[in-house]
Structure 1
Amino acid sequence: MRPTSLESNFITVTDDSVGRLKSLFVKKGDAELRHKLKSSPFNVAYDVVRGRAAELIAEGDADCAITMGRHINELIQRSHATLDTTVLHAAVMQVLTAVFIATESYEAALSTAADTLTLLSQEPRRKDEPFLQVLGALLYDLSFLHIVRKEYKAAERTLEKSMRVFERLAKMNPDRYGSAHIMALNASTSVYRSRVKQVNLLAHFQVATSTYLEMVNSGIHDAMDRLIESLANEGEMLMQLGKYRDAVQYYSRALKYLSKLSPEFSERHLKLSIKLSEALLHTRSTRQKGVHLLNTLLQKAVRMKSGKYVKEIETLLDEKTTGKFDILALWHKAFPK
């Protein structure tokens, strides 16, 4: 199982009633389960859902954990919305995010994390214990998604906020939250080291690009292919570091040289153009250019019968044209420090 907030030592269970409440998942009907979850202290209800999800994953029944989470959410949504049911709904969504990460269903995890952040952002100034522990756990899990996508700057930001949240909670209840604070701190240190490695690797690519550019300008035609690859590598590294405007320039230069080397549009052109589109999408002022380019590339990919790239383009268009994932880039502005 991938490391997530569902680990038993992340948030420590401190209430004996958790074990008794777990039996409701098997023995009671929907109405009683909904009533018990709503009427129980938040920590008890949250620990029950977290614990049961972790047990099911350990038993190799992640599908059942997902079904359970979705079912509980349906029960909560049938209730009259209150401050308590909103945070309970967000808590179950956070657990689902962790389940998806644990089973390497990263697209589903990203979508669920975005939905959960959107739900929490409706009351961004809340400082109560239930709200903060759900926010802290969600950001801890979201950081892992950023790491998988090699977005280390974003991972560092989410972990810093998670660490601050659990530091605050640990002062209130060190037995329950002390471990989460330490785990977020350790993860943050690891991500920082990864970002330092990225910066060093970027410097290496910059030297390589300068070398190949000199060779191309000197008339060494064979160096152009390596120059294109080096420029693309720089663009990728800049994307991972969150420097999207710079990435656009490097991808554009790579495409310019590729067009000189191979004038006919190929899968290599398509792959680089998709990367350029993705960089454009990350900046609000250039987003429409990115969407327009993706729509053009989608037609080319269909004509080329390149199913892999058709799916990638459709996914990017879905993410950016619906605005659903904007919260992943803007959450730090929604929640006060």
Structure 2
Amino acid sequence: MFSNKKFIASLAIAASLTGAGFVATNQVAPQIFAAQEVGAEPVNDYIANQGIQPVSIQFREGTFDQWIPYENGVGKPEGIVIHETATPGATAENEVSYFNNNWPTIQTYVHAFVDATSIINIHSADYGVWGAGPTANAKYIQVELCEVNTGDEFARSVANDAYYAAFRLHQYGLPVEYGKTIVSHDQTSRMYGETNHTDPTGYFAKWGYSMEEFVALVQKYYNQMDSSNTNSGSTNNNGSTGTGTNNGGVSSNASEGTVKVNNSGSFAVPLVAFSNNGSMSKSNRGLANNSDWYTDQSKDYNGHKYYRVSTNEWVMDTYAQFTAK
């Protein structure tokens, strides 16, 4: 199932890793949707006319243990790269399992995988991954679209993929700009010359689809996020940032700087997470004692201040000494 997995160069700090590039896509004949699925409708029209809605994003902690700042700093991506997996029939769950088990060997990792029924995020988008060559890795969030078997599945999968891209661009305050903030792996290969991959161009063409149509769908979801953003800036478990107030009386505010953490009662500093309704839960991870962490947000909750050190991981002021940037 995974014999044709791609090798992709790592971030600049791991640029010495090399390998043979697998060209994920080639020129292929367009796949005509079955009449019972879409008829003669363009994919975006089919999504709208069938009332297809993107699924919720699942946020999980993957096994990738490289916490690498983007070239502009932690939490400062410049856009998103759209990939496709080149593994026909493999689901997002299959891909997540494969990459979590094999990234040290294949030297490849991305932020999220998407198929017709799921969006699974496995690494904080505040940090870079190894997906498209050193230059692109230092700039972009990266998402892989799984190959599906039917036209209806394709429509649902690109709706999910476009929603994820829109969510991330909206989260980081980036506009939808084709070729700048939203690019294909094909485009990064041509822009930087560090990989020879052409995805998802060929796979899209198989279904009579294009990056231009995909970007239009991203823009649609992005606009919907603008119109529904009645509490812009509140911080939730998706990692969006800004100022405002969440449910449950949790106030959020900008606090850029560093925190030096220490827990005198244990070998590690505990972390917590906050849900959309403002409730707090313990994380299964911790920070090393006497380590320094970049933070860009703080929360006031039940008489304590919490500093954000990852997408939705926060350290309490009891264990943290904050220094403003």
Query: TM-score, normalised to structure 2's length?
Result: 0.36
Q: Which has the higher contact order (CA 8 A, sep 6+)?
A: 2
Query: TM-score, normalised to structure 1's length?
Result: 0.35
The structure with the largest strand share of the pair is 2
Structure with greater Cα Rg:
1
